[in-house]
Structure 1
Amino acid sequence: MNAHAPAARADRHWHAGLEALRAARWTDAHQAFQQMVKLTPHNASGWTHLAAVLLQQGHLQEALDAALKARQLAPDSALACSLHADCLSRQNRHREATEVYASLPATVSRDADFLSAHGTALLMDQRPREAIKLYIQAVGQQIGHALTHYRMGLAFKHLERDKEASTCFRTAITTDRVGEVRSLALPQLLTTRMQACDWEGLDDDIAALVDTIDGGDEPLLANISPFSLLALPVGPLRQRRVAQAFVAQAARPLKPLPPPGPRAPGRIRLGYLSADFHHHATAMLMTELLERRDGQHFEVFLYSHGGDDGSATSARVRAAGDHFIDVRTETHEAIARRMRADGIDIAIDLKGHTRQTRFELLALRPAPVQVSFLGYPGTTGADFLDYVIGDPVVTPLDHAPHYSERIAQLPASYQPNDRQRPLPPAPPRAELGLPEDAVVLCCFNQSYKFLPAMVDLWAQVMTQAPHTVLWLLSWNAHGQRHLVQAFAARGIPPSRLVFADKVPLARHIARLQQADLFLDTWPCNAHTTASEALWAGVPVLTVPGDTFASRVAASLVSACGLPQMACADAATYVRMAVALAHKREALQALKQHLREERLRLPLFDSARYARDYEALLQRMFERQQASLPPDHLPARPAE
């Protein structure tokens, strides 16, 4: 009788755990399965369920330990294998996760869920082609597996195969029977269709997304990628609502660290968090800012959760800080504890809601002051970020309701720039396929930023200024073909469109100098692309909207002494573009201003920017040291 008592008690805990699981009472389930494995430590099912509950609670290391125990006891269990791999994936150990999935004996059958999860580990390990093979196997087993169709769409999007990605996202929406995958796939469908300039029925898809946002609860909104909304006309308050829901779910398992002790004396310690300390727009923009830091007052820590591409940019940015810390394989908690141990005063996230982000780890509150800067042009929706760095144009204080953060304004533009950016001689127009006597209008934005209404405006300009050509980036074959058709339908023949291949940065800036006027897009402007044009001496014409992403170009031209290039509305944009196309002397004067004043313009005055930026960080630090809560920091001149 006594010999069977532990087994009987374990069975009671097993059933209690299952009941708690069904009711989503995770703490009760945790306690029940923990008691079960204490009583019957060789029960693989108990360890498997304990691992699943610990994973749900965000206890990654404990979940990993339990999953490893389950696999030791049941090496042929596909479920234990999946849990083991999932624990690693959630610690950003994607390569190890793929090896765990592959370690399941070949004799064990793999269902659609397993194949799909294995594919996603490969995708996260930057191996999309291998992932697609497994996704195809998964949908071969279960054609209606909506989540797999969605994930396969992400893999094709990663490969810039937008037509195939769109098909996958549309299939995910069609096969979804619950509605959760639909909210994941719909914004991605819109983005890929826009990248391919596939606009038939686009308004219906946008309306469907708006209805989803307006009618959705937090769990549904948390499925929507905030980044995917930046180029869509959904408005700033919807962007904020989606961002808040998304980050609330991502950060839910992360509880703040205990309050820090007294601050160690010394310089103000800045901790930058990013995956982009390599040949990436963010690093290219801000490297000189780091190089010009005031080393007597600021100590810079770079926490990198991305790879090293071996580029000159990578070497330069990594050398620009005082400390470079590779945290690619560290858990969120380990990174936060490292930042806390390093005594970081101001944590600065450079990613926001962009690919490979890990900014949610700042929910652990490793630093007294936490800031969103440069990488994401909008609100993160995070209540654990105190400030977003902007300027009076891109983030006016009357837009404060659009942001979960407090607005901290730099006096000129929010965007740093690099005076070491190349500026080679311009090649001849003939070499670029451009007519010698035409006014060359250009837009080198990615095609997902184009909407049919934008092409309507450009066609109006070209109709009223028939001596113009429009120079565009050949981003993808589908987009190029659709654009040619769209312009033809508006009376602009293919001969007036010139498509440029993607080339290295130095060659791009060299050729840019042969353009006369850059025509911007909205609701998502040119950002780094606009500052490249201005650096090359090409004026940018824009219309600022009511979101961060739609006001960047206005900020940049204002910081170049050309605020008149930010038009009040679309009609003014067309009139001004036509007028400049007809008055070449006026256009030439704008170009001459940019070229002659280049190094004196606030946008490209790196020394001035560094002083302004550090003065703003100093104000944040002083408020915190005075025990004052974060508050909006209006722009003021550098001291």
Structure 2
Amino acid sequence: MKKAKAPGKTRGQVSYGQPSAALLATTPTQRRALSELFQRGNALYDEGRYAELEVLGQEWVQRFPQQAAKGWDVIGRARLYLGRLSEAEAALLKGLELDPDNLDIWDCLGVVRNRLGHFSGAHEANMKALAMAPDLPHVLINAAGNLNDSGRYDEALELAERALKHEPLNRLALLVKGNAFVGQDRTDEGIAMYRQVTAIAPDWPDAWTNLGGACNKRGRVDEAIAALQRALELDPNQAISWNNLGLILRDQKRDQEALDCFNNAIDKQPELADPYVNLGTVLQIAGRTLAALEYMEHARKLRPTSPMIYMGIGTCLQDMCRFEEAVVAHCTALELKPDFGAAFSNLLFTLNYHPTLSAEEIFGAYGDYELANALVTPGEWASHANSREPGRRLKIGYVSPDFQSHPVRYFLEPLLAHHGHKDFEIFAYADVAVPDAMTERYRSYMDHWRNVRGLSDHEVADLVRQDGIDILVDLAGHTANNRLKAFSLKPAPIQVSWLGYVSTTGMRSIDYLLSDDALTPPGSEHLLSEIPWRLPSALVYRPPADFPEPTPLPALARGHVTFGSLSRAIRLNDDLLDVWAELMRRVPDSHLVLNSRDFRTPEMQDWMRSRLVSRGVEASRLDIDYTSPAWLPMSNIDIMLDCFPHNSGTTLFESLYFGLPVVSLKHRPTVGRVGASALTAVGHAEWIAEDVDGYLQIACDLAGDLPRLAQIRATLREEMHRSAAMDEPGLAHAVESGYRRMWQAYCEGGQA
């Protein structure tokens, strides 16, 4: 990792300070010597010669022990700008031992602790300084900036406005006020404030940097990029600007450009933690999870109290099946920021994959999500003005960040393509970062298209109410960029979750979960916050138009059976690998193909290979790689193995459509029953196991009957076409009938 170097002075306003009373109360000779030291220090500070400034402070302490407090102050400020924050804090505390009423030292200590991420300690120091100088603008500004970083935006705004009463055009006070507005989700007011600052100080890069971040939050990507580029024109060494530009490019899926930006940020300011986290995220997406974790861990050393960093560490650990450590990381993020919705969703996501927890234990955590993240107390929702007419045309709203080329399209399009627009008026609330051709296709299915990219959750809920939506459908659950907080406001009288997450949301504001008997068998209702609305099949598959015909059975030409899985690494837990290793012992000479995006790099291939080899599987029997589309690796597989306790998703249906039998084990509802749902719908419940012994027996029986495998490969696609798994009109009819019955029950004053 890079060696730390000096950050800019604008984040936290710290001056060199003033001669203290102790300095003045000396002999004339000492006063002259101290004055000379002070002036030399001031010059070094202004010139950014911080290493020399530290030496001067040490000289001060040694030569003038009675005035050593100021010397420690100088040392602390020098170390602050050298990026040695812990040492800076130690020096300042020594100064306060000697002079506990020193305003400058308390003020500087607040800035140092803020940079360390110790916001409560910074607040304590800021309040000490404010007690001594309640009207000093830079003291007010530093305190306000730390409150912003602590998420205490109302208090930050009050202090910023107090500073502006004394200095109405203070650019830093205006900037901090804009930051408070953005933190309060008053982003448009924040943008207006930043534009005011750029008018006052057009050559100040910080203002352009913050303007870019706010514009990006509102989905105004072109304006955001222009503002950040302007900041970098003014100061190419502005690490925050490089970092923020990288975030935009990452969201635009321009990964290499994003990596370049994050690396530039690290080069310019190696002690800044955020670029390491963001670079790690891009590496993780690229399948370099091991390297990503290294960057995340380095960020934690730089800023050990950042909840974002712990969430990043947790996502890496979960992808490596280190579930206990991942849970600890996500919980640490939530201890630091209890209302951190993304971290809570990631925790729940991790728990769904945990191999040993019970369904009841996991659902207990879901119940806590709403308590921490609901924007209004459950049950205290505003009333709805929707007319309670049972037979009228209903307004249905679908909310998703995935109205684009995303796997959810294979299951959502079958409904949207068959929706009856005479009885239903269809709205989309699309939070799509990078629209594509599939986005336009989705748009063609809708009566109304609402782009909610950049809107706050309150604004999304207000828009839903303005549209008069009767039934609002969540298509994301706890996946990335979800809008569950908007659903917590209950903007529609009936709210439903379906498809994108295939599990409970834990939200009492969501009334129903679209499911089926296999996903949520009778008796599993206590594991859901929603009422399960059981369809004939909750997952109906539409394959891509270019999906080829199945290839001949590979085992006939190769003389051995090949098992396979196209699932992500997070599903391949140790217990599952133990079962697969036993299967390969029972089927001599069998091979195993593992093919997914997580295995794009040699480092991840080696990691997975070593886990199986340690279980006695010869490396020569393993083929670990990533090729796409899915039918390419499927052409080399005879039998597909489902994962547990979290079953596979889209690849289950792709495998069946390619003629591959899928062996699945029923586990925890709902995510542990996706395989059972698919196989029941297709008509092959005999491939569903109740336990591990049954799973092994089904796989061994299939492997021992090559003629049967060849017949399955030749006929399964046609069977699938005739089954509930591909009955698109049937799905639409069942869902629309469900919507109508939900609405009728609501009109009668209850739930169906």
TM-score range, shorter chain: 0.7 to 0.9
What corresponds to 1:297 in structure 2?
423
Which residue number corresponds to residue 184 of structure 1? Answer: 311
Contact 1:392 1:409 in 2 (8 A): no
Structure 1: distance between partners of 2:544 and 2:270: 53
Matched, 1:414 2:538: yes
CA contact (8 A) 1:75 1:104 kept: no
Matched, 1:582 2:704: yes
CA distance in 2, matches of 1:514, 1:319: 38
Give the Cα separation in 1 of the matches to 2:361 and 2:223: 38
CA distance in 1 between partners of 2:208 and 2:323 (Å): 44
Q: Encode CA deviations 1:484-541: one digit per residue, 9 max, x unaligned.
A: 4444444433443345752336x55xx7477432111123211111011222332211
Counterparts in 2 of 1:140 and 1:382: CA distance versus 1, 3 Å:
farther
1:218–1:309 Cα change, 3 Å: closer
CA shift for structure 1 position 254 = 12
3-state SS, counterpart of residue 283 of structure 2: helix
Tell me the number of residue pairs that the alignment of Structure 1 and Structure 2 aligns: 607
Aligned residue among 710, 713, 723 for 1:601 = 723
Instruction: Look up the match of 2:745.
Output: 623
Report how far residue 243 of structure 1 moved: 5.9
**Percent identity of paired positions between Structure 1 and Structure 2:** 23
TM-superposition CA deviations, 1:591-613 (whole Å, max 9, x none): 67744532332222222222222
Shift of 1:587: 5.1
Q: Which residue of 2 aligns with 1:530?
A: 652
1:73-112 aligned within 5 A? 73-104=200-231, 106-108=233-235, 110=237, 112=239
Judged with a 3 Å threshold, the aligned counterparts in structure 2 of structure 1 residues 527 and 172 are, in CA distance, closer, same or farther, namely same
Q: 1:420 to 1:173 in 2, by over 3 A?
A: closer
Aligned equivalents of 2:590, 2:232: Cα separation in 1: 64
Q: Using the TM superposition, name which of 225-234 and 246-255 deviates more.
A: 246-255
The offset of 1:208, in angstroms, is: 4.5
Q: Secondary structure at the match of 1:189?
A: helix
1:371 aligned to which of 488, 496, 511: 496
**Alpha-carbon distance change, 243 to 80 in structure 1, aligned in 2, over 3 angstroms:** farther
What SS class does the counterpart of residue 211 from structure 2 fall into? helix
Q: Is the contact between residue 92 and residue 331 of structure 1 (CA under 8 Å) also seen in structure 2?
A: no
CA distance in structure 2 between the partners assigned to 1:600 and 1:301 by the alignment:
31
Q: Are positions 1:317 and 2:437 aligned together?
A: no
Once residues 171 and 485 of structure 2 are traced to their aligned partners in structure 1, the CA distance between those partners, rounded to angstroms, is 33
Deviation sequence 1:325-361 (CA, Å, 0-9, x none): 4444555455444433332211112223333444533
Alpha-carbon distance change, 590 to 500 in structure 1, aligned in 2, over 3 angstroms: same
Q: Secondary structure at the match of 2:449?
A: strand
Q: Contact 2:319/2:569 (CA < 8 Å) preserved in 1? A: no
For the Cα contact (< 8 Å) 2:280–2:296, is it kept in 1? yes
Amino acid of the structure 1 residue aligned with 2:670: F
Are the counterparts in 2 of residues 58 and 253 from structure 1 also a CA contact under 8 Å? Answer: no
Of 444, 449, 468 in structure 2, the residue corresponding to residue 343 of structure 1 is 468
Task: From 327, 331, 338, give the equivalent of 1:218.
Answer: 338
Q: Which of residues 679, 690, 699 is equivalent to 1:557?
A: 679
CA distance in 2: counterparts of 1:148 and 1:253, whole angstroms = 34
Distance 1:230 1:502, change over 3 A: farther
2:258 matched to which residue of 1? Answer: 131
Q: CA deviation at 1:183?
A: 2.5
In the superposition, relative to structure 1, how do residues 168 and 95 fare at CA in structure 2: closer, same or farther (>3 Å)?
Answer: farther
1:355 aligns with 2:489: no
1:95: how far off? 4.0
Matches within 5 A, 1:238-257: 252=375
2:194 touches 2:211 (CA, 8 Å); kept in 1?
Answer: yes
What is the CA deviation profile of residues 435-485 of structure 1, one whole-angstrom value per residue up to 9, with x for unaligned ones?
A: 443333221222332123322222211221125332331631333334444
CA distance in 1, matches of 2:728, 2:205: 56
Are the counterparts in 2 of residues 287 and 316 from structure 1 also a CA contact under 8 Å?
no
What is the aligned partner in structure 2 of residue 445 from structure 1?
567
* Structure 1 counterpart SS, 2:429: strand
Q: Secondary structure at the match of 1:376?
A: coil
CA contact (8 A) 1:51 1:62 kept: yes
CA distance in 2, matches of 1:71, 1:182: 31
Deviates more, 1:30-39 or 1:492-501: 30-39
Amino acid of the structure 2 residue aligned with 1:619: R
Q: Is the 1:240–1:380 Cα contact (8 Å) retained in structure 2?
A: no
Pick from 732, 735, 749 the counterpart of residue 610 of structure 1. Answer: 732
Structure 2 length as normaliser, TM-score? 0.70
SS at match of 1:618: helix
Q: 2:401 aligns with which of 270, 275, 289?
A: 275
Asked if 1:380 corresponds to 2:505, the answer is yes
Asked whether the 8 Å contact 1:219–1:245 carries over to 2, the reply is: no
Does the CA contact (< 8 Å) of 1:213 and 1:221 recur in 2?
no
User: What is the deviation of 1:64?
Assistant: 2.0
1:371 and 1:12, CA in 2 relative to 1: closer, same or farther beyond 3 A?
farther
> What secondary structure, in the 3-state scheme, does the structure 1 residue paired with 2:640 have?
strand
Secondary structure in structure 1 of the residue aligned to 2:299: helix
Show CA shifts across 1:50-95 (max 9, x none): 2222222222222222222222223344443343233223223344
> 551, 562, 569: which one pairs with 1:427?
551
Partner of 2:278: 151
What amino acid maps onto 2:279 in structure 1?
M
Cα–Cα, structure 1 residues 108 and 532, in superposed 2: closer, same or farther, change >3 Å? Answer: closer
**Would the alpha carbon gap of residues 548 and 216 (structure 1) be closer, same or farther in structure 2, given more than 3 Å must change?**
farther
1:3 corresponding residue in structure 2: none
Give 1:244 shift. 6.5
Q: Could you say which residue in structure 2 is the equivalent of 1:197?
A: none
Do the aligned residues in 2 keep the contact of 1:91 with 1:332 (CA within 8 Å)? no
Q: Deviations over 1:372-419 (max 9, x none)?
A: 21111333344443332222222345444444x413232333212227
- Of stretches 413-422 and 147-156 in structure 1, the one that deviates more from structure 2 is 413-422
Given that 1:263 and 1:343 are in contact with CA atoms closer than 8 Å, whether structure 2 keeps it comes out as no
Counterpart CA distance in 1 for 2:323 and 2:165 is 58
Match of 1:198?
A: none
Does 1:461 find its partner at 2:580?
no
Any conservation in 1 of the 2:417–2:445 contact (CA below 8 Å)? Answer: yes
Higher-Rg member (1/2):
2
CA 1:168–1:492: 2 relative to 1, 3 Å: same
Distance in 1, Cα, partners of 2:386 & 2:536 = 35
In structure 2, what is the equivalent of residue 205 of structure 1? 325
Aligned to 2:131: none
Alpha-carbon distance in structure 2 between the residues aligned to 1:325 and 1:211 = 35
Contact in 2 for aligned 1:213/1:242 (Cα 8 Å) = no
Distance 2:295 2:338 in 1: 25
Indicate if the aligned counterparts of 2:395 and 2:469 stay in contact, CA closer than 8 A: yes
Partners of 2:155 and 2:521 in 1: CA distance: 48
1:252, CA displacement in angstroms?
4.6
**1 CA distance for matches of 2:455 and 2:402?**
16
Contact 1:526/1:552 (CA < 8 Å) preserved in 2?
yes
Partner residue of 2:46?
none
| Contact 1:395 1:409 survives alignment (8 Å) | no
- The root-mean-square deviation of aligned C-alpha atoms, in Å, is 3.9
Distance 1:216 1:49 in 2: 22
More off after superposition, 256-265 vs 526-535: 256-265
Which segment drifts farther, 161-170 or 327-336?
A: 327-336
Q: Counterparts of 1:211 and 1:359 in 2: how far apart (Å)? A: 20
Instruction: Find 1:58's aligned residue among 185, 195, 203.
Output: 185
- What SS class does the counterpart of residue 416 from structure 1 fall into? coil
Aligned residue in 1 for 2:520: 395
Change (3 A) 1:585 1:25: closer
Matched position secondary structure for 1:542: strand
CA contact (8 A) 2:252 2:433 kept: no
Closer, same or farther: CA 428–393 of 1 in aligned 2, 3 Å: closer
Residues 564 and 592 of structure 2 are in contact (CA less than 8 Å); yes or no, is this contact kept in structure 1? yes
| 2:296 alignment counterpart | 169
